[in-house]
Amino acid sequence: MYQIISGGLIADGSGAPLYAGDILIQGGLIETIESPGKLDAANGEVINADGKIVSPGFIDMHRHHDIAVFNEGFGNIEIQQGITSCFAGNCGMAPVPNVPAFRAQLQNYLSPCLGSFDDINAKNSFTTHREYLEQLEKISLPLNTGFYAGMGAIKIAVKGFSAAPFSPEEMRGAQKYLQDALDCGVSGLSIGLMYIPEAYGTAKEIAALAQVMKGGKGILCAHMRWETENLARAVKEVIAVAKEAEVPLEISHFKAAGTKAWHGVLREAIDLIENERALGMDITVDFYPYNCGSSTMMQMLPPGYLSMGVEEAIAGLSNPVNVEKMRRLLIEGEEGWDNLSQTIGWDRTIISSVSLEENKKYLGKNVTACTKEFGFKDEAEFIAQLMYAEQGKVSIINQSMSQEDIDTIARLPYSSLISDALYGDMKRPHPRLTGSFPRFLRDFVKERKVLKLEEAIHKMTSGPAKRLGLSDRGLLKPGYRADILIFDPESFRDQSTYLSPTEQAVGLDSVFVNGQQVLKNGKIIRRDAGQVIR
């Protein structure tokens, strides 16, 4: 039994102009593509795509579904926006490797981004990439999912949250963890230099770890140390790391955050990247289609204060002496630290998730407004009390970027679209969790005409596939996996907003994953067609 998608306009993922064609799917693969009406439909099932766009399924190379993938209902918000393959383990964060001494601390640190570990801890006990991927292969996957190893997780497994550099022996331990992950088929190494304990690491140290991937074994995905005024310096650092390690570089969620960095600093960073590209370096970038970022409040606290140990530092916020220490560092800054309270500003930092009932009154408000409205002495005092009460788990949305800059990045021929979706709080997430891909088509193609449809589709399909070395996904081409979407670009759209962030995307007609139809007339009809991408 085969299937024919007939009557559609094909956007094949390469960026080439649309063309009319019929696609024959068999055995999970695209068998052939012919001009309209040429295929023998007698023995097959015909799926009518008259007047619709037919494209490859979207590949989200940057999500944080490492733990959410085990949850019931995983796949709904992903498939509804056309994602057929997604990659976890980003920004240095991953649930594996983990060791008993630091497991609880690791999970505590990851949960604002990855979500609660409670269910996982009750059912699973993975400690390595091998065990993690084996567990995943035992469950039904609604879409394909791949992974990176995370340097943060590796570092914590080797030496906890210590600020000290790796000893030679610790470095060998870290390299072994990365090698094991690569042997299991992860796509590369992610780093999150804005987050402790990675923030304590030097370029030399990161290169020493990343060079395990030399010779085409994986890519380095970098959440850089700075994304504000020091953006160019951050780009220089990761370029130096990738050069020294001799690995391809993907700059994650590339942006210029903070009003002072808009326009000029971004141009400087792009020039650095393009100079290296002209000299033959393999370097690309990705971005999400929103002008607000989302992160954790922890990221806004000074490393010089947290260096006493994260748990101690947060518990210590009930003591005015510690609050004063934190306040001083926030005002004075620290060498090498991107002080977001100044580069973005407390008045552009919105509280997006808390767990205690009494703190829900702060949701949707910025830190300065909360400080004034609820009678705190200053922002430091407000943050201290909130972080103490919430035991450090507070998520934020930063109104940090310029739309013009995002458009500039979207037009770069070597940029891919991502979501950077976080699963920490599914009640009040960043709208990119549910909307990134259709929003890109609606906002950047249909409404503002920044890109042509086929160009935008390329950035969501074969662009990321090529970057990840996926030789059988991302294009509508004979021999490729049949990950396919059918939609009308007039009705396919995101519905989530900052104030109403959980609304699902709507308007897809059909989604195929590995040749199986998983969504029909907008409804998910099966949830087992995905595979682990190794």
Q: Which of 65, 223, 327, 458 binds Zn ion (CB under 5 A)?
A: 223
By CB under 5 A, which span of 138-146, 216-224, 281-289, 512-520 interacts with Zn ion?
216-224
DSSP string covering 97-127, please?
S--TTTHHHHHHHHHHHH---HHHHHH----
Strand boundaries in 11-140, DSSP class E: 19-26, 29-34, 45-48, 53-56, 58-60, 83-88
State which residue, 192 or 507, has the beta carbon closest to Zn ion.
Answer: 192
By CB under 5 A, which span of 95-103, 157-165, 223-231, 455-463 interacts with Zn ion?
223-231
State which residue, 223 or 325, has the beta carbon closest to Zn ion.
Answer: 223
Shortest Cβ 378–Zn ion spacing (Å) = 29
By CB under 5 A, which span of 143-151, 222-230, 387-395, 399-407 interacts with Zn ion?
222-230
Shortest Cβ 253–Zn ion spacing (Å) = 6
Shortest Cβ 311–Zn ion spacing (Å) = 23
State which residue, 223 or 442, has the beta carbon closest to Zn ion.
Answer: 223
Q: Is 251 in the site for Zn ion (CB under 5 A)?
A: no
Shortest Cβ 229–Zn ion spacing (Å) = 19
The set of residues, in sequence order, having a beta carbon less than 8 Å from that of 462 and lying 6+ positions away, is 13, 14, 15, 56, 474, 475
Q: What is the rounded distance in angstroms from the CA atom of residue 446 to the CA atom of residue 450? A: 9
The three-class DSSP label of residue 263 is: coil
Q: What is the rounded distance in angstroms from the CA atom of residue 528 to the CA atom of residue 517? A: 10
Q: What is the rounded distance in angstroms from the CA atom of residue 439 to the CA atom of residue 81? A: 9
By CB under 5 A, which span of 86-94, 237-245, 373-381, 445-453 interacts with Zn ion?
86-94
By CB under 5 A, which span of 83-91, 350-358, 400-408, 460-468 interacts with Zn ion?
83-91
State which residue, 39 or 418, has the beta carbon closest to Zn ion.
Answer: 418
DSSP string covering 275-310, please?
HHHHTT--EEEEE-S-S-EEEEGGGGS-HHHHTT-H
Shortest Cβ 89–Zn ion spacing (Å) = 11
Q: What is the rounded distance in angstroms from the CA atom of residue 484 to the CA atom of residue 469? A: 19
State which residue, 223 or 459, has the beta carbon closest to Zn ion.
Answer: 223
The three-class DSSP label of residue 190 is: strand
By CB under 5 A, which span of 43-51, 84-92, 123-131, 154-162 interacts with Zn ion?
84-92
Q: Which of 409, 425, 426 is nearest to 417 (CA)?
A: 409
- DSSP H or E stretch at residue 519: strand 516-520
Residue type, 63: R
Q: Where are the alpha helices (DSSP H) in 279-430?
A: 303-306, 310-315, 320-332, 340, 367-373, 379-389, 403-411
How many binding residues for Zn ion (CB under 5 A)? 2
State which residue, 68 or 91, has the beta carbon closest to Zn ion.
Answer: 91
Read off φ and ψ for residue 441, nearest 5 degrees: -70, -40
By CB under 5 A, which span of 90-98, 275-283, 289-297, 299-307 interacts with Zn ion?
90-98
By CB under 5 A, which span of 85-93, 119-127, 282-290, 354-362 interacts with Zn ion?
85-93
Shortest Cβ 62–Zn ion spacing (Å) = 8
- Respond yes or no on whether the N-terminal peptide bond of residue 501 is cis (omega within 30° of 0): no
Distance of CA 405 to the CA centre of its chain: 19
Shortest Cβ 463–Zn ion spacing (Å) = 19
Query: Which residues inside 484-513 make contact with Zn ion, applying CB under 5 A?
Result: none
Q: Is 91 in the site for Zn ion (CB under 5 A)?
A: yes
Shortest Cβ 100–Zn ion spacing (Å) = 27
Shortest Cβ 295–Zn ion spacing (Å) = 8
Asked if 90 and 252 touch (Cβ cutoff 8 Å), the reply is: yes
Shortest Cβ 7–Zn ion spacing (Å) = 41
Shortest Cβ 299–Zn ion spacing (Å) = 10
Phi-psi region of 469 (alpha: psi -120 to 50; beta: other; left: phi over 0): left
State which residue, 91 or 256, has the beta carbon closest to Zn ion.
Answer: 91
Q: Is 149 in the site for Zn ion (CB under 5 A)?
A: no
Q: Is 96 in the site for Zn ion (CB under 5 A)?
A: no
Residue nearest to Zn ion (CB): 91
The three-class DSSP label of residue 517 is: strand
State which residue, 396 or 453, has the beta carbon closest to Zn ion.
Answer: 396
State which residue, 288 or 346, has the beta carbon closest to Zn ion.
Answer: 288
State which residue, 182 or 222, has the beta carbon closest to Zn ion.
Answer: 222
- Chain positions contacting Zn ion, by CB under 5 A: 91, 223
